Structure 1
Amino acid sequence: MNSFSCRRHDARLADEAASPGPSRPVSFQTPRDTVRVTVSNLRLAHHVTGEKALTDEVVRSRAKLLTLQILPCLNQPLSTPISDRSLSSGKMFKSGISSFARAARPSFAAAATRRAIKPASLRFPLNSRFASTASVGDGKIHQVIGAVVDVKFDSAKLPAILNSLETENNGQKLVLEVAQHLGENVVRCIAMDGTEGLVRGAMAKDTGAPITIPVGPATLGRIMNVTGDPIDERGPIKTDKFLPIHAEPPTFTDQSTSAEILVTGIKVVDLLAPYARGGKIGLFGGAGVGKTVFIQELINNIAKAHGGYSVFTGVGERTREGNDLYHEMQETSVIQLEGESKVALVFGQMNEPPGARARVALTGLTVAEYFRDQEGQDVLLFIDNIFRFTQAGSEVSALLGRIPSAVGYQPTLAVDMGGMQERITTTKKGSITSVQAVYVPADDLTDPAPATTFAHLDATTVLSRGISELGIYPAVDPLDSTSRMLDPRIVGQEHYDTATRVQQILQEYKGLQDIIAILGMDELSEADKLTVERARKIQRFLSQPFTVAQVFTGIEGKLVDLKDTIASFKAILAGEGDSLPEGAFYMVGDLASAKEKGEKILAELEKN
């Protein structure tokens, strides 16, 4: 009998069983035998079980339920639960009248009837669907699809969301992070490394905690990956301090409410786009404009001026760039293999699976949090590139089957970004100031990824190729770089007035450049000539020799105090440098250094 005919017989049987009247038998024909079920049979079954007499309405209702749900299972063992699979046409009626007699046994008849009328949601133990996460257990790899690995546990108690599982793949440790509970004691995980060679049935152990990494001074000068394993071939990281990468942001009572400037010692930054202590700075710049040297100088100056440490986190960028940065830091003594280093490196480069790239920023942040919370340091956290963090989160979201949001990004974009950025803040013990390189896809500032990042930034530092071509380093654009800290209530009126006047004279010079290019300087008024002359000197005075670049330039690096920076620019605006040549302001520290250099230049000119 085909499935369509079987459904017709089921429907006819149910209608006849539910129809009023005497004990009229209902039947249908199968290829093997005939089964007759009557309402009187049902009464007999209930009489045997000791239940009270039933009304005709209840009998008809239960007869209908028994017909549709119990009879298809009569040929199965008594211990077999009712399931949808037992409704297949090939197994429906094989045992005839003898099977129904078995159904009339007291133990089965009562249980079957109760199952038939019990709500579907209560047919299974609750602990098999809503598993507890109170204990730690071992599971087995159930399914592997790229970076997504499903692990099945024998126990109904499952590892908590964000817990890390450990398994072995080709003799190497592989860390998985729990992302979802799927039911049937299966959890879906994201792999932190490649899954090539991973097989079903392999054991996976729940660690009972999120991914935990080494922290503390032992991490300085070392390179680790997302799981805290060293990748610099210098042996294990010797420390007894470990922290999970997932943590809550500092509470409101622990955070500092005062707005303070983090003095970097770089003139153009401290004057025009000052960094907030515990703030977030976006670093924009193309290739070859000096981002790496700028970052190294910040690391060096923070260590000198504040005694603080730095953490560099490479998120989804080129492995070659990370390798170059490591060796350049050794050349500039930022990293000393045999001495005290000033920076810890955490890399999760673009060849890594999306799980690693989505978590490596949290690993670097955890290292920085230890120095802030336990040692009271002012920590500088570099993230290169914050866009890759969002991009990796989008890949993970797609792998987990979530419905994408605008432009294909994950629906949890704002939550993912906010969860990380809120941990970067100032507390009463110390601070984490984050400098984040930002890639803008297709130069579209309205793209959800950079737009979400901008909402968290306190300042932007733009490195300009045009300024770099003039030979002015750092190539920070003084007009495009901004900071919310440039407020007279925060920096003071003198600082604010000096900065705005510098920006004003540079903007006036920019507006006069077209006229100069076409007509020449002679066509300008005397006031405009003075503006151009001072603007060009200010432009060159914004350059500064870096300590980390001394091995390349041969010029001793200068770290300029904020008071000296303000006083020097204020003096240039007042005309104190009008008698000095432009070259005197190039690659010097404060105005006193410029005057000294200017006197040397003038003395050489007189000799010639």
Structure 2
Amino acid sequence: MVDADTWLARARDAVARTEVGAAVERFGVVEEVADGIAFLSGLPDARLDELLSFEGGQTGYVQSLDSDRVAAVLLDHAEAVAAGARASGTGAVVRVPVGPGLLGRVVDPLGRPLDGKGPVEGIRQDPIERPAPGIIERAAITQPVQTGTLVVDTLFALGRGQRELIVGDRATGKTTIALDTILNQQEGDIVSVYVAIGQKTSAVQRVVQTLTATGALARTIVVVAGPATPAGLQWIAPFAGTTMAEYFRDTGGHALVVLDDLTKHAACHREIALLTRQSPGREAYPGDVFYVHARLLERAAKLAEARGGGSLTALPVAETDAGNLSAYIPTNLISITDGQIVLDSKLFNEGQKPAVDVGTSVSRVGGKTQARSLRDAAETLRLDYAQFLELEMFTRFGGMPDTRVKAQLARGARIRETLRQPQHRPIALSEEVCLVLALQAGILDVLPPDRVTAFRTALADHVSSIPEANSIGSAPLEEVLRQALVTALTRLADEVKGA
């Protein structure tokens, strides 16, 4: 119980510290609101991207400035804001929580929980728009990112700090490749962030269920901006997810961010631009759509040792229409990224999964990021497979190929069978090296093509029991180890053939 003298002393002190004088409060008034956009007057000091606070507790950010009013993109549903409502500038930009406390959580682009597990515990709030690291702050990309997908790791190796576009028609397995890459990081040191932009709720639920069932959710942050959410939330989603991933990069760790997908993000950007009456350009997209994605993807980098040596790898996803890679948004993203994995609907419908088109896919970082043991085992695998596809096309016109061509066709058929892989079953590096070595050494030539799958299954079940396979790592494949592996794999192939 506080006595009267103490209470009086506190009251006098509070009065003494109170500044007496006129207080100025600047606020704007909503003149018009529709489709997630609010036009306001009375905010002469508003700045681009400034966060606005509406009297009902809603928020939005300034998208464009006119001479007499500003256009704000709402981060809450437009029904909650009405004409005549007051809004004031906060002097801040949009920020999201970052830190290890977000791992294992499903959140919206503002960091608000969507999984019913209580409040999100972030270390601090970082702005969603951050400058990309400069040239001096970056280091060469030399460390691999093992995706667990054989065709990618073998033919189009990814490096830590790289930006690799996954592009293809709808329902060709783009999300599967990205998700399998996340699943393959469970035992590694890479933290993953999956950003769903405008994806169907059922598709996002399948992703979360897969991550939960495999235990990968514990090292993953899922950021969801569904198709029913305001356009403003969908627009900030990839930037918010990248900021969450940058925390781990900037603290010396390694992170992977999947942006699924930027085609929908570009459509959202176009929608906002048209509603705020910006000048349309090609295909009605605003002129800055390239800059929006460029400044986003440039934030992926491998930092120099002076900055901690962390890395942020980006896997943006883009959707094509009828395989048209020359469309506006795909060509923009191809020119920004360090390579692309192209998925072909024809291959997918033929049952070749993952449906990677090896002719148009490329990794511009090069094989120096590939695990050395896998590079030594693969040797000429990509060239052999490309020659097989070309020969197969020509032999469809008829004619009797000679013995050498028949042998190439037979070996190419086994390469194609080996590159098939069920979804959500990433392969360890040791198993990948054994499979590729069996191909290159001709061990699978004795098996009919339909028995190659049986060999893969047997290898997956027994690879841990092969002593030589346990010593496979990122180091070069020594000749002694190679010969020992060839002997063990030949014995396994004979067992499969006789079964």
TM, length-normalised to structure 2: 0.79
Matches within 5 A, 1:146-157: 146-153=35-42
Contact 2:169 2:322 in 1 (8 A): no
Q: What number of residue pairs does the alignment pair up?
A: 444
Measure, in 2, the Cα distance between the counterparts of 1:490 and 1:372. Answer: 18
Contact 1:266 1:559 in 2 (8 A): no
Matches within 5 A, 1:86-235: 137-153=26-42, 158-167=45-54, 169=56, 173-184=57-68, 186-235=69-118
Residue 153 (structure 2) aligns with: 270
Residue 267 (structure 2) aligns with: 391
Gaps of at least 5 residues in structure 2 are: 1-23, 464-484
Measure, in 2, the Cα distance between the counterparts of 1:263 and 1:245. Answer: 28
Measure, in 2, the Cα distance between the counterparts of 1:596 and 1:352. Answer: 57
Q: What code does the residue aligned with 1:256 have?
A: A
Measure, in 2, the Cα distance between the counterparts of 1:397 and 1:152. Answer: 19
Higher alpha-carbon Rg? 1
Q: Is the partner of 1:455 in helix, strand or coil?
A: helix
Q: What code does the residue aligned with 1:558 have?
A: I
Q: CA deviation at 1:574?
A: 4.2
Q: CA deviation at 1:282?
A: 1.4
Contact 1:348 1:360 in 2 (8 A): yes
Residue 17 (structure 2) aligns with: none
Residue 296 (structure 1) aligns with: 179
Measure, in 2, the Cα distance between the counterparts of 1:205 and 1:380. Answer: 37
Q: What code does the residue aligned with 1:599 have?
A: D
Q: What code does the residue aligned with 2:35 have?
A: G
Measure, in 1, the Cα distance between the counterparts of 2:112 and 2:54. Answer: 15
Measure, in 1, the Cα distance between the counterparts of 2:98 and 2:410. Answer: 52
Contact 1:314 1:349 in 2 (8 A): yes
Q: What code does the residue aligned with 1:560 have?
A: L
Q: What code does the residue aligned with 1:501 have?
A: T
Contact 2:98 2:244 in 1 (8 A): yes
Residue 358 (structure 2) aligns with: 478
2:418 equivalent to 1:541: yes
Q: What code does the residue aligned with 1:251 have?
A: G
Post-superposition Cα deviations, 1:288-345, rounded to whole Å, max 9, x if no partner, equal 54434332221121232x321111111122222112222222222222xxxxx12111
Measure, in 2, the Cα distance between the counterparts of 1:380 and 1:572. Answer: 31
Among 199, 207, 212, the residue aligned to 1:330: 212
**Moved segments of 4+, more than 6 Å:** 492-498, 590-593
Q: CA deviation at 1:515?
A: 6.5
> Which has the higher mean CA deviation after the structures are superposed, 190-199 or 281-290?
281-290
Q: CA deviation at 1:480?
A: 3.3
Larger relative contact order, structure 1 or 2 (CA cutoff 8 Å, min sep 6)? 2
Residue 506 (structure 1) aligns with: 385
Post-superposition Cα deviations, 1:563-602, rounded to whole Å, max 9, x if no partner, equal x746753563343443344355323568768545423323
Measure, in 1, the Cα distance between the counterparts of 2:322 and 2:354. Answer: 25
RMSD: 3.1
Contact 2:170 2:320 in 1 (8 A): no
Contact 1:144 1:150 in 2 (8 A): yes
Residue 253 (structure 2) aligns with: 377
Contact 1:274 1:459 in 2 (8 A): no
Measure, in 2, the Cα distance between the counterparts of 1:279 and 1:541. Answer: 26
Post-superposition Cα deviations, 1:130-180, rounded to whole Å, max 9, x if no partner, equal xxxxx99544434324322133447x5x243211112255xxx42210123
Q: CA deviation at 1:516?
A: 5.7
Measure, in 2, the Cα distance between the counterparts of 1:442 and 1:578. Answer: 36
Q: What code does the residue aligned with 1:333 have?
A: G
Q: CA deviation at 1:435?
A: 1.1
Measure, in 2, the Cα distance between the counterparts of 1:535 and 1:240. Answer: 53
Residue 7 (structure 1) aligns with: none
Among 295, 299, 317, the residue aligned to 1:437: 317
Residue 528 (structure 1) aligns with: 405
Contact 2:443 2:493 in 1 (8 A): no
2:193 equivalent to 1:311: yes
Gaps of at least 5 residues in structure 1 are: 1-134, 336-340, 550-556
Measure, in 1, the Cα distance between the counterparts of 2:131 and 2:26. Answer: 26
2:446 equivalent to 1:579: yes
Distance 1:492 1:276, change over 3 A: closer
Contact 1:192 1:226 in 2 (8 A): no
